[in-house]
Amino acid sequence: MSTRVQILVRGVVQGVGFRPYIFSLARRRDLRGHVFNNASGVLIDVEGETNAVEQFIQEIKFNPPPLSQIESVERRDILALANHSEFRIGESESAGRKSVPITADVGVCADCLRELFDPRDRRFRYPFINCVSCGPRFTIIEDVPYDRAKTTMREFTMCAACRAEYENPDDRRFHAEPTACATCGPRLYLTDESGRELENGDNAIGHAQGLLLSGKILAIKGVGGFHLACDATNAGAVRRLRQSKYREDKPFALMADSIEMVEGHCSVSAFERDLLLSTRRPIALLARKPDSAVSNLPLAVAPGLNSLGFMLPYAPLHYLLLDGLNRPLVMTSGNVSDEPICYEDRDALERLDKIADFFLLHDRRIHVRVDDSVVRARENREIILRRSRGYAPRALKISFKFARVILACGAELKNTFCLTRGDHAFISHHIGDLENLETFRSFEQGVEHFKRLFNLNPEVVVHDLHPAYISTQYAMTLAGASVKVGVQHHHAHIASCMADNGIEGEVIGVAMDGLGYGTDGRLWGGEFFVAGLARADRVTHLEYTPMPGGTKAIREPWRMGAIHLRRALGDEIFDRNLDFVKRLDRRAWATLSRMAERGVNSPETSSMGRLFDAVASLIGVHDVACYEGQAAIELEMVADESQDDSYEFDYSGVIIKPSPVICDIVTDLVRRVPAPVIAAKFHNAVAGLILEVARRIRAERGLDRVALSGGVFQNLLLLNRTIRLLEAADFEVFTHSRVPTNDGGISLGQAVVADALIKSGEGRS
Ligand code: ZN
Ligand code: ZN
Ligand code: FE
């Protein structure tokens, strides 16, 4: 008996070899019909022997191509047979609603890697080899549906050999949209800093390797933008790169040719190994091997840190570049200081010419700038610190359906934005710190690109409450969307954590971060809430402390150290025998403390991040930070994990006073207690405080679920201690894993809060 069915497969099904897969599946079962991409997914019209059709459907459901993510398989039985004579792959349909998930960029697959180093293969050493299972995707796609004509690869006409593969259903490059070879595809070339071509093709790679080995700095065009590269074992080159990039202390990302090479420098768990080897190819932060004799890396790659950020090659070009070098490369983002990374050749030649000695370029255009992603493992869970290449624009599935199409504009630092439809949140790649025009342009272009790719027209726009945020101002000036919703920063953090975990209802929300605008106009950051998606009631918070000099205090933790010290001890601070006080510039401090007293340029903050800064400075870890959060990160590194002693906050009243902690730290400092012990006791005090407050809220409100969010929880020592204490007291603890706990997760939180407000009818403003 014959049957005919139409099958619509939704999910991540385009650009992952779905049509060729369906084709071979149908042919094997002697089925006839066709398959094509349409705007909703992949549509299959198939007929043949009834049993074979049923098996065919089961196979699609349970054994799909590796890169696909099926969300639904809808079938419709059709009575009339079409009497197709064969099975074929149809052209894509461009009409209709565009809602096809676009896949992220995929690291080079094992098959392509084998061909890359196979002298008999026609793509031997071709730096742009790819196939249906690997290669660039999001970074080259200009529009949907995903077809070569809608990518930057349309500029290259396939040669006869490539076309034959592309059209051959038995070939693994059947409908591989970015396919190319040395004859027809993108070409690689090496230039000097003025853009003059020196070598091309394989010669360019050989020459580039020689330059790297001789200590030169190269700007290398990759998948989502430029890297600045140098020999990671060459201390002089690393130092020069650091100086010319105006990046004094921030750790550099490294690229190794293999897991074994990474293991030469870091201890790598099985889970971390999987992260490194995943097709997403993130930068993974790994514990540096304590025996530094094992590692020949200069300290300058990651000053002051006992971890290193490693990634494995993801573009074929990277494999060729590392081949035979026998050492890791620094592969840091191709930008100057805090600007966004370069992704266009001309721009790179202009902006990076003071840094790079040579440029390794190619003529495949990058349509969207996408940074490397950064992850860390906590036990066997992935913690995403920067969600970008390899992850974005994959949509996150949420546990409920959004009522409207929402655009959430995110925060200021580590910005991402988020668009919604149905039960999906489309969270953007990492945009960066919205502090300059170039980043803002990236943000704007990103929003337009996502709207087009996913065919989303926002009905609601959500923004932070901070009036000075560029993302807030963007939302305010946006015409068209009728509803605008402001969401408090820390409420967004907690809601983001809830959505990350798929929970609803009320929780104890603990938001600890750098700074976020509060509903009272002050800068919050050490907050406890009873929170749901629609509202957050602030239960308690760290006592307000002035930030002498405003945002300057972020880069100069000593200012917070001094103000906390004075709060705790008054003018007595000069009587104590403290190194911190000896280092203090008394004249500068006299001015600042007068400013703080009068409230001049000294906004008040309840930030836990700033308290970490204060402690780091008091114990001599860092008086001046080179990047936001540096003092807090290094405080974690310093802490002696075996230490279980703790200080104690004063939470006898309505708010939390840190002064007893500061006083005890001073006592310890005077007694010459080592910094690692003090740092550990401080971490334990914060974890203990969270437990104490959670207990009180549980006693009053009967809540026993705790959501932890905010940048401070990037500190794994604090996170681990807090979770351990809370779980031992029978709390259920929720933390982030799909979006960052830092401000990169804010856009998701904004979206779910706005949705909850709309559903409860309070969203109009
Ligand atoms: Zn491949
Ligand atoms: Zn070709
Ligand atoms: Fe934050």
Q: Which residues contact 90 (CB under 8 A, 6 or more apart)?
A: 34, 35, 36
Give the mean model confidence (pLDDT) for residues 110-137.
96
- Predicted confidence at residue 93, as pLDDT, reads 62
Nearest ligand to residue 464 Cα: 3
Place of tokens 């279980």: 644
**Are 410 and 440 spatial neighbours (Cβ–Cβ below 8 Å)?**
no
Final residue before a domain boundary, out of 374, 392, 417: 374
Region 661-673 average pLDDT: 96
Predicted pLDDT of residue 765: 45
Checking if the pLDDT of 96 tops 50, the result is no
Residue 162 lies in a domain: no
Rounded average pLDDT over 153-160: 98
Domain ends where: 69, 89, 109? Answer: 89
Q: What is the mean pLDDT of residues 451-458?
A: 92
Specify the CATH number for the domain of residue 29.
3.30.70.100
Looking at the structure, do residues 222 and 366 belong to the same domain, yes or no? yes
Strands 396-397 and 424-427: antiparallel
Residue 206: count other Cβ atoms within 10 Å of its Cβ: 14
Fill in the DSSP letter of residue 421: E
Element holding 58 (H helix, E strand): helix 50-62
Which tokens is 320 given?
């060729």
- How many A from CA of 183 to the centre of ligand 2? 5
Q: Tell me what the pLDDT averaged over the chain comes to.
A: 92
Range in 269-273, 569-573, 641-645 the model is least confident about: 569-573
How many angstroms separate the alpha carbon of residue 307 from the centre of ligand 2?
43
| CA of 376 relative to ligand 3 center, distance in Å | 19
How is 284-304 classified by DSSP, letter by letter?
EEEEEPS-TTT----GGGSTT
Give the range of the structural domain holding residue 554, as residue numbers without chain letter. Answer: 543-685
Residue 519 in domain:
no
Q: Give the whole-number percent of the chain exceeding pLDDT 90.
A: 77
Q: How far is the CA of 573 from the centre of ligand 1 (A)?
A: 64
Residue of 554, 560, 705, 717 lying closest to 633 (CA atoms):
717
The pLDDT assigned to 481 comes to 61
Ligand that lies nearest to the alpha carbon of residue 109, given by its number in the listed order: 1
Residue 99 pLDDT exceeds 50: no
Q: Are residues 225 and 360 in the same domain?
A: yes
Task: Answer yes or no: do 211 and 67 share one domain.
Answer: no
Q: Which tens digit of pLDDT belongs to each residue from 544-553? A: 999 999 989 9
pLDDT of residue 97: 44
Secondary structure of residue 402 in the 3-state scheme: coil
- Among all bound ligands, the one having the nearest atom to the CA of 153 is 2
Is pLDDT above 90 for 730?
Answer: yes
Ligand 3 centroid to 415 CA: how many Å? 10
C-alpha 710 to ligand 3 mean position (Å): 5
- Tokens 């190994």 -> residue: 273
State in Å: Cα 107 to ligand 1 middle. 8
Is residue 75 located within the same domain as residue 199?
no
Ligand nearest to the CA of 164: 2
Q: Give the span between the Cα atoms of 142 and 15, in whole angstroms.
A: 13
Is the pLDDT higher at 607 or at 438? 607
If asked whether residues 66 and 200 sit together in one domain, one would say no
Residue 95 falls inside a structural domain: no
Nearest to 635 by CA among 649, 656, 614: 614
**Which of the ligands is closest to the CA of residue 496?**
3
Q: Residue 353: pLDDT band by 50, 70, 90 thresholds?
A: very high
CA atoms lying within 13 Å on the CB side of residue 127? 28
**Number of domains present in the structure of the chain:** 3
Distance 547 CA to ligand 3 centre (A): 17
- From the CA of 108, the nearest ligand is 1
Kindly state whether residue 480 falls inside one of the protein's structural domains: no
Q: What spacing in Å lies between the alpha carbon of 256 and ligand 1's midpoint?
A: 20
Is 400 inside a domain boundary? no
Confidence of residue 611 (pLDDT cuts 50, 70, 90): very high
Number of the ligand closest to the Cα of 159 = 2
pLDDT, greater one: 387 or 572: 387
763: pLDDT confidence band, cut at 50, 70 and 90?
A: very low
430 belongs to a structural domain: no
Q: CA 692, CA 599: separation in Å to the nearest integer?
A: 32
Please tell me the distance between residue 340's alpha carbon and the centre of ligand 3 in angstroms: 20
Nearest ligand by distance to the CA of 746 = 3
Same domain, 196 and 303: yes
Cα-to-centroid distance, 461 and ligand 3 (Å)? 19
Encode pLDDT of 364-401 as tens digits. Answer: 999 999 999 999 999 899 999 999 999 999 999 999 99
Say how many Å lie between the CA of residue 230 and the centre of ligand 3. 34
Alpha-carbon span 408 to 478, nearest angstrom: 12
Rounded CA-CA distance 238/241 in Å is 5
pLDDT (average), residues 33-52: 90
For residues 382 and 737, what is the distance between their CA atoms, to the nearest angstrom?
Answer: 6
Please name which ligand lies nearest the alpha carbon of 747.
3
Q: What is the mean pLDDT of residues 578-607?
A: 90
Q: Which of 134, 16, 13 is nearest to 73 (CA)?
A: 13
Least distant ligand from the CA of 122: 2
Question: Residue 678 domain-assigned?
Answer: yes
In angstroms, rounded to a whole number, what is the distance separating the alpha carbons of residues 564 and 579?
Answer: 16
For residues 663 and 551, state if they share a domain.
yes
- Any idea what the CATH number is for the domain that residue 622 is in? 1.10.357.160
Q: Output the CA–CA distances (angstroms, integers) from residue 148 to 29, 158, 291, 346, 588, in the order listed.
A: 29, 10, 50, 24, 62
Task: Select from 343, 374, 405 the last residue of a domain.
Answer: 374
DSSP state for residue 165 in the 8-state scheme: H
Q: For residue range 290-310, what is the model confidence (pLDDT) as tens digits?
A: 765 556 888 888 887 789 999
Q: Which are the contacts of 392, defined by CB distance < 8 A and separation ≥ 6?
A: 104, 138, 370, 427, 428, 429, 430
| Among the bound ligands, the one closest to the CA of 166 | 2
Answer yes or no: is pLDDT of 191 > 70.
yes
Q: Residue 435: what pLDDT?
A: 87
Report the SS3 class of residue 10: strand
The CATH number of residue 198's host domain is 3.90.870.40
Using pLDDT thresholds of 50, 70 and 90, give the confidence band for residue 95: very low
- Examine residue 532 and state whether it is found in any structural domain, yes or no: no
* CA contacts within 13 A on the Cβ side of 203: 7
d(CA 295, CA 284): 17
- pLDDT above 70 coverage of the chain, percent: 97
